[in-house]
Amino acid sequence: MISVEDFAAQADAWFAEHTPRGVPFMLPLTFMEVGTDEQFDFLRDWQNQVYRAGYLGAHWPTDYGGGGLTQKHQDAATRVMRKYNVPIMLNAIGIGWAGPLILDTGTEDEKRKYLPGILSADDIWCQGFSEPDNGSDLGNAQLKAVRDGDEYVLNGSKTWTTQGNYAKYMILLARTDFDAPNKYAGLSFFLAPMRIPGVETTKIRKLTGEYGFTQTFFTDARIPADTLMGQEGEGWKVAMRTLEYERGARGGQAGGYTISQTDPLEVVGLAKRATRNGQPALEDPVMRDRLMAQMIEGQAMMANRERAKIMPLVMERPFALPMLSKLQFTEYARETGELALELEGAQSGYYVGEAGSREDGYWQRSYLNAFSATIGGGTSQIQRNIVGEHVLGLPKTR
């Protein structure tokens, strides 16, 4: 097996040569903003190139399309991707949530059927958890799945289905028993096909003017019964495991990154160029303190990410740091964007494409988009409850 160091060197050379530059249209900052066919086609081709070169799914088994190497190999390749600030990986729900779930708990047939297409981006996945009337109350999902012979008949709606209009499959939480003793007991989990009669998607326009989310409607849509994952009525357990991948509390993702991370050094650069009372904003002692605090927090998060991998350091509470990561990283991105807009002062009111904007409205777009990550996968308020109950041992909310 190739050493991690040699693999990283190969990856460095490959990304130095192949990272796209000068793309003639605006690329999404995250997988939640893929709103045009032009963006979608570009990112699908890019993910496929990275996968074919061996730098995505490097640690997944070769039987299912992976490279058969180790997690350390994939981590090294992902670090190189960040170094070159490459475009995001498109198939986020596939490579980050559905893929590791299937790899971990799926049947042999499910692994062989679904995993290669996830890595190559031939098969795009979306998530069908949220519903229009239930917000973050995932346990109250109402979409019906009624067994009829070898099929389930679906009726209802899911919302915030990222890339739902492009997806071939959906990880779907549906209610199969309305008489169950509690709201969690009657749910089932499906690897549901999307390109079938009775499934329609409608694009949702966001605050930024971009798209990326859809609402998905199911009207007497029939899916094969063998798309049920696990046992009927035990979908809550499967969904919770999926959320552990989504929130970064459990590893096994295919690698790469699907959300561009904010670099606080970019904000320092902005502080050098922006002015306050006729002086560079970086000379303002209050602003210097805030910038330093932001950089320290950023360094602490990165240190914790590495610390979580060293078992002797975290063996008493192995999931404590991973459970914090989703809350920390998403709120950090939002706070960094907010700080950048403060530095821009009155010019922060100009958006992408407007004549008065600084850096073509990059920070405005980044800031507004940052809110979606603080909501998706459980809001920051939900994350704080999880940390309070499962890490700190506080009483559960009622």
10-residue mean pLDDT profile of the chain (398 residues): values are 96 97 91 93 98 97 96 95 95 96 95 97 96 80 95 96 96 94 91 97 91 95 96 94 85 90 83 86 90 91 83 74 84 92 88 86 90 84 86 78
**pTM of this prediction?**
0.88
Which pLDDT score is estimated for 345? 86
Which pLDDT score is estimated for 233? 94
Which pLDDT score is estimated for 136? 67
Q: SS3 for the chain, per residue?
A: CCCHHHHHHHHHHHHHHHCCCCCCCCCCCEHHHCCCHHHHHHHHHHHHHHHHCCCCCCCCCHHHCCCCCCHHHHHHHHHHHHHCCCCCCCCHHHHHHHHHHHHHHCCHHHHHHHHHHHHHCCCCEEEECCCCCCCCCHHHCCCEEEEECCEEEEEEEECCCCCCCCCCEEEEEEECCCCCCCCCCCEEEEEEECCCCCEEEEEECCCCCCCCEEEEEEEEEEEEHHHEECCCCCHHHHHHHHHHHHCCCCCCCCCCCCECCCCHHHHHHHHHHCEECCEEHHHCHHHHHHHHHHHHHHHHHHHHHHHCCCHHHHCCCCCHHHHHHHHHHHHHHHHHHHHHHHHHHHHHHCCCCCCCCCHHHHHHHHHHHHHHHHHCCCCHHHHHHHHHHHHCCCCCCC
User: In sequence order, what are the beta bridge partners of 215?
Assistant: 202
Which pLDDT score is estimated for 40? 97
Written as six digits, the tokens of 154 are: 């679906």
Which pLDDT score is estimated for 389? 86
Q: Which of 11, 14, 28 is nearest to 78 (CA)?
A: 11
Which pLDDT score is estimated for 264? 78
Which pLDDT score is estimated for 135? 66
Provide the annotated active-site residues. 246
Which pLDDT score is estimated for 397? 65
